[in-house]
Structure 1
Amino acid sequence: MGDKASAHPGAAGRAAAADRPSSVRNVVLVGHSGSGKTTLVEALALTSGAVNRAGRVEDGGSLSDYDEIEHRQQRSVQLSLVPVEWNGVRINLLDTPGYADFVGELRAGLRAADAALFVVSAADGVDGATRMLWDECAIVGMPRAIVVTHLDAARADFEEMTAICQRVFGGDDPDAVIPLYLPLHGETGPDGHAPVAGLIGLLSQRLFDYTSGARAERDPEEGHLPLIEEARNRLIEGIISESEDETLMDRYLGGEECDIKTLTEDLEKAVARGVFHPVLAAAPAPENGTQGLGTVELLELITGGFPTPEEREIPGVTTPQGAPRPALTCDPEGPLAAEVVKTSSDPYVGRVSLVRVFSGTLRPDETVHVSGHGLDDQAHEARPLHEADERIGALSVPFGKQQRPVTRAVAGDLACVAKLSRAETGDTLSAKEVPLLMEPWVMPDPLLPVAIQAHGKSDEDKLSQGLARLVAEDPTMRLEQNPYTHQLVLWCLGEAHVDVALERLRTRYGVQVDAVPHKVSLRETFAEKAEGRGRHVKQSGGHGQYAICEITVEPLPEGSGIEFVDKVVGGAVPRQFIPSVEKGVRAQAAKGVAAGYPLVDIRVTLRDGKAHSVDSSDAAFQTAGSLALRECAAASRIHLLEPVAELAVMVADEYVGSVMSDLSGRRGRVSGTEQVPGGTTLVRAQIPEIEIGRYAVDLRSLSHGTGRFSRTYACHEPMPQQLATKILEAEGNGG
């Protein structure tokens, strides 16, 4: 591990395809935006020899060639894979966005990884979203370590940051979160700040000096030893408490000196089991340096302490039809089971799928079975399974914008597959003879709607295909063609998610769209009983048009729909034309009678009418029925009905008051609260949907990123008259 005296691995940092699962480590970097994840990945690539000081590799590629959108927004918006090699082990570093809008990319990284590095800034601390993510990893037993960055910031304090991590991440066992090293500060500069120059290993009591830009090991000075005694004792006790050797604690308490090799082995086992979480420090290499502070220690922790793919449980599998299948193991000779964890489009290569191989071996030019759960474009429910056979093209591993060819991807490894045209993010790749479907991972529900329309005629032709490809790439995005408002709605996770989606439509697929105000599905109904007469009489040579009908409309309870009652006597309206009147009434109800919204929950009674033996027709009585309904509406008060959602808001206890006050200000009715373990409260409320169009953004602000919510349709209720009048006036004025 990092406290060993280790040699530099030389040029072995240029990772090739792994030949066995035991030589692979899949590590996801997690942390809030600005914590330094991408900088840390670059520092690890430099230390491993994957890039030179300028960030270039031998064939000219650059690790920093990110997506153009990331360049413009100055932040990561997508999952990226950087493979490096250290001491003969291939390390797949999965760099994730820290911004909440791109949590789908983060969850894909968690799915592909076997361990997590939580990157926290010594200057900024730990935010609520990172704390929640730690708890999620704890539930599934994912091994975790903590890396403290920005140690040279003015307010940085490693000891204080470690204490915060122990309090936030340690929970009931703060001794499971302990540093392996103490930062050693150099000489104080003119500004009064002493930069971090090296690390002192607590187990070996060796000093690792990085002042030259490369790691140099030496004995600590006499004055350093008192600084580390207390921290070293606490670390040893923490390791022993998690040791599988139950006699070790008794021997230690009896005064026996513990062998460093034994402690290191126990430490590595505890980290791999996910019960011990070491804290390390890291910083980029200085100018002209080849190793950043703490990067050697971190690489050794990853290779020595993090589990191999063989040690992690594989997600459950079934047949595509849902029949159970035996649990898989991480065996290169086993049945093929791989998963698309990310889909992207390259302007030159086309669609590129990042794939994690869980079982078997993936090879170029093989035909595989693609199966997936998918999402319904109209709802949150799963759509019918999609399946297809596709031929695997070239396999490669990414490095910046480059793709380096590989001959295979064994169980436990990751690789990119080009031109899998039918595969979407989350789909399973399996052998054609033994098709499988892996259980899906949890993705957040997109709850921020944005209505869009094509900017011009040329965009209309490409819009459908562009949107389909966009949604196939990003499972946290949902497309809806609203049948009531006739709007095309893209559901996203937040405003930044919306911006990136529209930018990708424009730059990748050549589709320019405009965002328009999002409409909710209002309804209309009668507030009181009304009578009306529809008269459609025209004579213009030849057969004329003649139809008269008299109706009564009365309101019904919610959910009744439209009832049509025939009470005509004496044949005033011939029997063959009564369905025509009903058809005209229902057609007009679908169009609305006041503001253009569907009319619901009424009973229409046909009382009387007149017909002509020659000029009456089906079309004439349809028109008369429509006119009669409109006349009834003109003589009555019309209520606008707005959709009401059942909201379930999960929020940290300290923000409950703010959330409930905000809901009340949105005309919400809180129906109850429920305490949830972990200092969280579930707030249930009914609230008009028109009031929560931006709630995904507003709740994040109210709860400092810790709140989340779900929504389901509850009912339609009469809108307050003041709001309804504004809408009716706007519609009447062509608004």
Structure 2
Amino acid sequence: SDIVPGLKKEIAARKIFPVLCASSSLGIGAVRVLDACVALLPSPEGGVMDGTGKDGKPARVFTNEKDHAVAQVFKTMSDPFAGRISYLRIRSGHFQSDGSYWNASRGVPERFSGLFLLQGKEHVSVPEAHAGDIVAVAKLKETATGDTLSTKDHAVVLTKLNVPEASIAYAIEPKAKGDEDKISTALHKLIEEDPSLHFTRDEETKEFHLAGASQLHVEIAVARLKKRYGVEVILHPPKVPYRETITRKAEAHGRHKKQTGGHGQFADCKIKVEPLPRGSDFEFVDDIYGGSIPRNFIPAVEKGIQEVCRKGFLAGFPMVDFRVILFDGQYHDVDSSELAFKLAGALAYKEAMEKAKPTLLEPIMNVEVVAPNEYMGDLMGDLSSRRGKVEGMDSRDEDTMIRAQVPMSEMLTYGAQLRSITQGRGSFHLEFSHYSEVPHAIQDKIIAQSKGDKGAAEAG
């Protein structure tokens, strides 16, 4: 009893972090954990939350039962019987089980149809709840995780919950054909519960991606898909969004001529291509003088080139960071058309690519790895084996953070290797940095694989 007040004070100041052992599956230690929470953790009373008031100015909400009603949704779940359930932490005031309130985050009204205290799996109905309580409300139509509920007259939006950034993504596809819609519906329900999950479609690779804070995070989401919604999926590393570019200047000539009786098709254009700095994408320059190509046909040349450059030249990846200069051409008063000049532009592009020495570019990622100091040697060696360039290290007590740049293709399976090296004590974060040229030995493998995949797709 003499120690408890001191522990309580130091825990509230975040100087001491209690560790208790328990097993929920065996029913060991659960009561001790609950007793420790009551005895040692700070009371909600006196807590302060920052937010934004109705007038847009900063506001502070104090945990006080006598203040205006303010609560924040910290979790959302989909129950097969009760539907959507929102879990609220009441920050101030009190809420009635049949009350009408204001979602200040979205500017919409919500009406409660019951309040429930959480006791294990049981939800106990109560007529009202007060500041400091954690309660559940079913079937809120417009409310999501992180939203603030209050009264309309005293609306306040509390600071959003801190959601971990996604650091790893997997391509996801159904085991059974035709289940794409089921996956999408089920995943959107999971994301309502866990906003740190992200589900997107890559327009370039046509893959669906599921991203989370770690490999384990994504695997747990997949297990929930199967258990809760009966949807089985396959996870695999996402395709790397390579790019193509040119490394030298070139000139090319494209002529489209077709005579089939009556009106024919004719268009002739000459272009120059030249490389641009990384990140410049594509530029088209009209350098026609003297009317060798009429003004109304010049956009067709550009369109023809843009359409084919999306398919690349070496391996089917988009061609970027180059300039096209249209400087000469010919036309026919009767046979020339936009379609003919579009086709001529595409022919000129293909000839130019054969001369301009195209190459592959790969995405380079900024990588931050945090792990105990004892694993630094193995981690540095592993990053070097992945063609990584270590840019610095920062010590953090018993941990060290490594900052490096590594090709995305080398990081697709890094999570499992990091767990193996650090015995699960390491973490990492990725974000895109820039594109860089792929070494020639690796380029050949990528090109061969891309052509093989394309052939298999066409055969299928």
Tell me if both proteins adopt one fold, taking TM over 0.5 as the criterion: yes
1:422 aligns with 2:142: yes
Larger radius of gyration: 1
TM-score normalised according to structure 1 size: 0.56
Asked if 1:692 corresponds to 2:411, the answer is: yes
SS in 1 for 2:62: coil
Q: Secondary structure at the match of 1:420?
A: coil
- Asked whether 1:318 is paired with 2:27, we answer no
Residue of structure 1 in register with 2:85 after alignment: 352
**Is contact 1:268-1:304 (8 Å) kept?**
no
The CA distance in 2 between the partners of 1:512 and 1:302, in whole Å, is 39
Per-residue Cα deviation, 1:202-246 (whole angstroms, up to 9, x for no partner): xxxxxxxxxxxxxxxxxxxxxxxxxxxxxxxxxxxxxxxxxxxxx
Corresponding residue of 1:333: 66
Secondary structure of 1:309 counterpart = coil
SS in 1 for 2:383: helix
Query: TM-score normalised to the size of structure 2?
Result: 0.87
3-state SS of paired residue (1:685): strand
Partner of 1:640: 360
Q: Distance in 2 between matches of 1:647 and 1:283?
A: 35
Partners of 2:74 and 2:88 within 8 A in 1: yes
Where do 5+ consecutive residues of structure 1 fail to align? 2-262, 373-385
Checking the alignment, whether the CA contact within 8 Å between 1:367 and 1:432 is kept in structure 2 is no
Residues 559 and 271 of structure 1, relative CA distance in 2, 3 Å threshold = closer
Q: CA deviation at 1:519?
A: 1.4
Which string of whole-angstrom CA distances, capped at 9 and with x for unpartnered residues, describes residues 66-109 of structure 1?
xxxxxxxxxxxxxxxxxxxxxxxxxxxxxxxxxxxxxxxxxxxx
2:61 is paired with a residue whose SS is coil
Residue 587 of structure 1: CA displacement?
2.2
Secondary structure in 1 matching 2:335: coil
> Over residues 678-711 of structure 1, what are the superposed CA-to-partner deviations in whole Å (9 max), with x where a residue is unaligned?
2332321111111112334433433333333333
Distance across 2 between alignment mates of 1:510 and 1:644: 37
Contact persistence 2:116–2:126 (CA under 8 A)? yes
Equivalent in the alignment of 2:442: 723
Q: Which residue of 2 aligns with 1:394?
A: 114
**How far apart, CA to CA, are the structure 2 residues paired with 1:573 and 1:451?**
47
The offset of 1:399, in angstroms, is 3.8
- The CA distance in 2 between the partners of 1:503 and 1:292, in whole Å, is 25
Shift of 1:345: 1.0
Give the counterpart letter for 1:307 in structure 2. Answer: P
Indicate yes or no: 2:159 matched with 1:439: yes
- Aligned residue type for 2:86: S
Q: Map of 1:181-580 to 2, 5 A cutoff?
A: 263=2, 266-267=5-6, 270=9, 273-274=12-13, 302-311=37-46, 313-319=47-53, 322-325=56-59, 327-372=60-105, 386-454=106-174, 458-509=178-229, 511-580=231-300
| 2:425 pairs with 1:706 | yes
**CA-to-partner distance for each residue in 1:307-364, whole Å, 9 max, x for gaps?**
32114x2321213785211x22222231222122221111111111121111111222
Contact 1:332/1:361 (8 A) holds in 2: yes
Does the 8 A contact of 2:74 with 2:161 survive in 1?
no
1:569 Cα deviation from its structure 2 partner = 4.3
Q: Which deviates further from its counterpart, 344-353 or 523-532?
A: 523-532
Identity of aligned residues (%): 38
**Residue deviations 1:659-687, cap 9 Å, x none?**
221111111111122233x2332321111
Q: Distance in 1 between matches of 2:17 and 2:451?
A: 66
| 1:26-37 paired onto structure 2 within 5 Å | none
- Aligned equivalents of 2:444 and 2:204: distance in 1? 21
The secondary structure found in structure 2 opposite 1:310 is coil
Sort the Cα spacing of 1:596 and 1:321 in 2 relative to 1 into closer, same or farther, 3 A.
farther
Deviations along 1:269-301, one digit per CA (max 9) or x if unpaired, are: 6467558869898889xx9xxx988957x7665
Paired residue type of 2:69: L
Q: How does 1:166-181 map to 2 (within 5 A)?
A: none
Are 1:601 and 2:321 counterparts? yes
- The one-letter code sitting in structure 1 at the alignment partner of 2:438 is M
Distance 1:275 1:608, change over 3 A: closer
CA distance in 2, matches of 1:280, 1:718: 49
Gap change, CA 1:437 and 1:527, over 3 Å in 2:
same
Q: Secondary structure at the match of 1:501?
A: helix
Distance in 2, Cα, partners of 1:470 & 1:579: 46
Greater fraction strand = 2
Return the letter of the residue paired with 1:555: P
Offset, 1:495: 3.3
For residues 507 and 293 of structure 1, what CA distance do their matches in structure 2 show?
27
Paired residues for 1:129-144 under 5 Å? none
2: distance between equivalents of 1:612 and 1:278?
83
Contact 2:104 2:152 survives alignment (8 Å) = no
Q: Give the equivalent residue in structure 2 for 1:650.
A: 370
Q: CA RMSD in A?
A: 3.1
Give the deviation of 1:470 after TM superposition: 2.0
Deviation at 1:657, TM superposition (A): 1.9
Following TM superposition, by how much is the alpha carbon of 1:522 offset from its aligned partner in structure 2, in angstroms? 1.3
User: Whole-Å Cα distance in 1 between the matches of residues 42 and 402 of structure 2?
Assistant: 39
Letter of the 2:360 counterpart: L
Residue identity matched to 1:428: T
CA distance in 1 between partners of 2:270 and 2:376 (Å) = 56
Give the match for residue 42 of structure 1: none
What is the CA distance between 1:466 and its match in structure 2?
A: 3.0
Change (3 A) 1:357 1:617: same
Match of 1:117 in 2: none
Query: Structure 2 residue aligned with 1:682, among 401, 413, 418?
Result: 401
Question: Could you tell me how far 1:511 is from its partner in structure 2?
Answer: 4.7
Q: Could you list the per-position Cα deviations for residues 514-548 of structure 1 after superposition, in whole angstroms to 9, with x for gaps in the alignment? A: 43540122111012233333222233455432212
Aligned length: 452
Secondary structure at the counterpart of residue 442 of structure 1? coil
Task: Give the CA deviation at 1:457.
Answer: 6.5
Q: Secondary structure at the match of 2:442?
A: helix
CA distance in 1, matches of 2:201, 2:337: 36
The whole-number CA distance in structure 2 between the counterparts of 1:544 and 1:300 is 89
- Flag structure 2 segments of 5+ consecutive residues without an equivalent: 455-460
Shift in CA distance, 597/264, structure 1 to aligned 2, threshold 3 Å: closer
User: What is aligned with 2:336?
Assistant: 616
Quick check: 2:275–2:322 contact (8 Å CA) kept in 1?
yes
Q: Which amino acid aligns with 1:431?
A: T
Cα separation, 2, equivalents of 1:565 and 1:281: 69
- 1:92-171 map, 5 Å: none
- 1:455 shift after superposition: 5.3
Specify whether residues 728 and 581 from structure 1 end up closer, same or farther in structure 2 by C-alpha distance, changes over 3 A only.
same
- In structure 2, C-alpha distance between the alignment counterparts of 1:276 and 1:650, rounded to whole Å: 22
Cα distance between partner residues in 2 of 1:730 and 1:272: 56
Cα distance in 1 for residues equivalent to 2:327 and 2:15:
80
CA separation in 2, counterparts of 1:445 and 1:497? 12
Q: Is the alpha carbon distance of 1:712 and 1:582 closer, same or farther for their aligned partners in structure 2, counting shifts above 3 Å?
A: same
Mapping for residues 24-63 of structure 1, pairs under 5 Å: none
